[in-house]
Amino acid sequence: MRRISSTVVGLLLTGALLAAGCATESDGDLGLSFSGARNGAVNEGSTSDEVVENALDDVEAFWSRTYEGLYGEPYEPIQGGFWPYGPNTEQPPCGNPVPSYNEIAGNAFYCPSSDLIAWDNVNLVPGLYDEFGAFTLGIVFAHEFAHAVQRRSGTLDASIRSELQADCFAGAWTADVEAGNADHFDVSIEDLDQAVAGFLALRDTVGIDQSAEAAHGTGFDRIGAFAEGFEQGAERCVEYPAEYDAGELIIVELPFTDQADFDRGGNLPIDELGPILLADLENFWTLHFAARDETWTPVTDVVTIDPAVDEVVCGDDTYRGGDLVGVSFYCVDSDTIFLDGAHLLPALNQIGDYAVATEIARQYAFAAQARLGDLENTTASNLQADCLAGVFARSGFTGDREDRGQELFLSPGDLDEAVIAFLSHQAAGETVGDDEESVASAFDRFDAYRDGFMEGAAACDALG
């Protein structure tokens, strides 16, 4: 996050949406990208080889059922076959000359020239399976099959748009699994949360331009593409190439435009961030309420606490000790936001400054709900707060308050920091007074946050 007090470089919502992983052949270069989910899938005790075989079977069955309805012609099965390889095996016949093992070690990829899917069965797949579980492998091969589909539909190229669309198609396959249409795989909300973690682990390096060779997108971008496919189906994914070419898809992957911001890695020191953030949130909510013909009253106080020595009185309740460890919450009675400054804020700051900003923005959203009479201890209220934090992030991205007192603007990587915070136990959604049923999954929280970012406050109103 950066503070701009004079000239600001304007940021526009342009570009493309999201991608997750795999590799495609481009001018002879092969690159890996994949994403994973833990615990979902095939029979317990399956070997990684059996899981791969089942994944290939389920994904190909999906495309056999789906392709003609999308593109108006029958699906053509992969002609070049499926190639597990390792350091002591024949290498997949992709290109001339055939690549050596060292050139493709640790990869999974689709080779357009030979119409084959290949994967390192020694130094990739077994490790993925052991660490993440079977559903990870399903998403890997759903992504690779998507590139084969792109070749058949004439949309495969070396741009980021192919990676984004492939992630969207992987999400569409996941929804098909959830609907019970797969012979071997199933999926749970825990798998979706792990998919979020997988996309974040494989996001591009902060500050890469979307036009860079082999760019795949930020974690925010990649998860978003997957989520669109999951929620809207493969029909949504088909629209990606045309929308990307028309500049209608949104991508948040941007290079650094300020040397000082680059030198800081896009992060402000927390002691500098705090007062500027609070002033910017007050500015945001003042303008947001005015647009609704409402009057915003400033939040009375934002207080950091040390659970080892402090206690908090909120209405008829008193919290101390373990009740306050790792939490943040808004107290309606005193109109005060409380934050664990000994554990929560340092943990979030370790992720990045926008992880801190997002959690505080979320608490401001609860204050806004209280002022509008909409604050309840429900999942819907919590998701609406995430959504409104996404609206605040959108403002930081577009600079739409630049001429009305805005002080903070997003830096490359900030949105990924927000999503990483969703996955961290320190910011998993629990606040004082929440019960288990009111806390949403990381995947659902990301979805609400992204809706606010992409669609604005109207999307959040629908959650209330």
For residue range 253-276, list pLDDT tens digits in order. Answer: 555 456 655 555 656 777 788 899
In the block, tokens 């490359």 appear at 412
Q: What is the mean pLDDT of residues 374-394?
A: 91
Exposure class string for 312-332: b at 16+ Cβ within 10 A, else e: bebeeeebeeeebebbbbbbe
Q: What is the mean pLDDT of residues 70-75?
A: 96
Select from 299, 368, 372, 286 the least CA-distant residue to 339. 299
Please state, rounded to an integer, the average pLDDT across all residues of the chain: 81
Question: Which residues have a Cβ under 8 Å from the Cβ of 441 and sit 6 or more positions away?
Answer: 189, 190, 192, 193
Task: Show the tokens assigned to 249.
Answer: 């898809």
d(CA 400, CA 238): 31
Exposed, middle or buried by CB within 10 Å (0-12, 13-18, 19+), for 392? buried
Exposure class string for 120-140: b at 16+ Cβ within 10 A, else e: bbbebbeebbeebbbbbbbbb
86 vs 195 pLDDT, higher one: 86
Residue 396 has pLDDT above 80, yes or no: yes
pLDDT at 173: 96
C-alpha pair distances (Å), 190 with each of 38, 133, 195, 196: 7, 12, 9, 10
pLDDT at 431: 47
Q: What is the mean pLDDT of residues 176-186?
A: 93
30 vs 189 pLDDT, higher one: 189
Task: Show the tokens assigned to 193.
Answer: 């949360």
Select from 298, 453, 337 the least CA-distant residue to 388. 453
Exposed, middle or buried by CB within 10 Å (0-12, 13-18, 19+), for 19? buried
3-state secondary structure of 120: strand
pLDDT at 180: 94
Confidence of residue 422 (pLDDT cuts 50, 70, 90): confident
Task: Show the tokens assigned to 401.
Answer: 């308050």
181 vs 164 pLDDT, higher one: 181
Exposed, middle or buried by CB within 10 Å (0-12, 13-18, 19+), for 236? buried
What does R_g of the chain's alpha carbons equal in angstroms?
23
pLDDT at 250: 76
DSSP string, 231-286: HH-HHHHHTHHHHHHTT-S---------HHHHHTTT---HHHHHHHHHHHHHHHHH
pLDDT at 174: 94
Residue 214 has pLDDT above 80, yes or no: no
Q: What is the pTM of this model?
A: 0.78
Residue 77 has pLDDT above 90, yes or no: yes
Question: What end-to-end distance do the CA atoms of the chain give, in Å?
Answer: 29
111-131 pLDDT per residue, tens: 999 999 999 999 999 988 887
Select from 414, 418, 406, 411 the least CA-distant residue to 261. 411
Residue 344 has pLDDT above 50, yes or no: yes
Residue 13 has pLDDT above 70, yes or no: no
94 vs 437 pLDDT, higher one: 94
Count of residues in the chain: 464
Q: What is the mean pLDDT of residues 159-172?
A: 90
Q: Which own/partner pairs from 396-403 qualify as long-range (CB within 8 Å, at least 24 positions apart)?
A: 396/1, 397/11, 397/13, 397/252, 397/453, 398/11, 398/12, 398/13, 399/8, 399/10, 399/11, 401/283, 401/284, 401/287, 402/8, 402/10
pLDDT at 137: 81
Written as one letter, the residue type at 94 is C
pLDDT at 28: 28
Name the percent of the chain lying above pLDDT 90.
52
